Amino acid sequence: MLGAAGFVAFVAVWYVLVHFEVWRFAKLPAPGAILREWVSRKPEFGTSLFTRTYYDDIWASVTRVLAAFALATVLGVPLGILLGWNRIARDFLFPLLELIRPIPPLAWVPLAILMLSSQTAAIVFLTWIAAFFATVLNTMLGVASIDEAYIRAAYCLGSRRWDVLWNVIVPGALPYVFTGLQIGMGVAWFSLVAGEMIAGDAGLGYLILNAYDQLQVSTIVIGMATLGFVGFLSSAAVRWAGSRLMAWQPR
């Protein structure tokens, strides 16, 4: 209940600041105006719950994030397990990864556009690289966090290396893998927005920047709110998948 009160207060303050044109808040749209635009059948700036383009943009962004996220998972988790489990692979590959990792995902924008002719591919690459590093690193940490006793117990009970990998390493690293996937999802959306703003021709990031070019400020906020909502849903989906897969974890 208190939470709702807090939120209402936030919107009220926002309304007052805009209404009485306090300082530069005059430039911002009032909450009411945004809501009306968002739900109107014939929105002034062409974007609302009832316009097709709104859903096309959402669909474009969501498919790009899911493609990049799936790619990051399929490549990142096995590589993370390999690096965590095999000392030689770690010696060769980890320093290289540590050298590339500090480069912020968005610094790849120019190179991505150069390397990949199509804009969508460049954006997906950007989104992928952010999620990939988060997944590899956390999976590796997951493998390292497994208590030596579990590995020894498995060997004691007659396992060979392959059995230990499937019955101890993978399940044991799962909690960290999902932490990595959650961070990966967050960073994926983060990079997607920038990618779409800089090199996009569709998607929520493009919608927001385009709305800015046309000085449609309320559409900017609609775009931001939608991004927030869709981002929240996708992280929740990852958390839900995690809790299902790891039913054994104490509640």
Using CB under 8 A, which of 2, 41, 52, 118 touches another protein? 2
Q: What is the DSSP string of 110-157?
A: HHHHHH-SSHHHHHHHHHHHHHHHHHHHHHHHHHHHS-HHHHHHHHHT
Tell me if 15 contacts another protein by CB under 8 A: no
Contacts of 6 (CB under 8 A, 6+ apart): none
> CB 12 → another protein: shortest distance, Å?
12
Q: Work out whether 51 is an interface residue with another protein (CB under 8 A).
A: no
Does the footprint of another protein cover residue 118 (CB under 8 A)?
no
Stretch 227-246: interaction string toward another protein, x if CB under 8 A: xxx-xx--x----------x
Q: Residue 42, interface with another protein (CB under 8 A)?
A: no
Pick out residues in 189-228 that bind another protein (CB under 8 A): 189-194, 197-198, 204-205, 208-209, 211-212, 217, 220-221, 223-225, 227-228
Least separation in angstroms between CB 132 and another protein? 15
99, 167 contact by CB (below 8 A):
no
Burial 42-72 (b: 16+ CB within 10 A, else e): ebebebbeebeebeebbebbbebbbbbbebb
Closer by beta carbon to another protein, 1 or else 42: 1
Which of 41, 42, 244, 250: binder of another protein (CB under 8 A)?
A: 250
3 binds another protein (CB under 8 A): yes
Closest Cα partner for 206 from 13, 8, 51, 53? 53
Positions in 124-183 near another protein (CB under 8 A) = 143-144, 147-160, 163, 167-168, 171-172, 174
Helix (H) or strand (E) holding 245: helix 217-245
Sign (positive or negative) of CA dihedral 103, 108, 110, 111: positive
Residue 108 touching another protein (CB under 8 A) = yes
Site for another protein in 73-102 (CB under 8 A): 84-88, 91-96, 99-100, 102
CB of 141 to another protein, least distance (A): 10
Nearest in space to 138 (alpha carbons), one of 98, 178, 189: 178
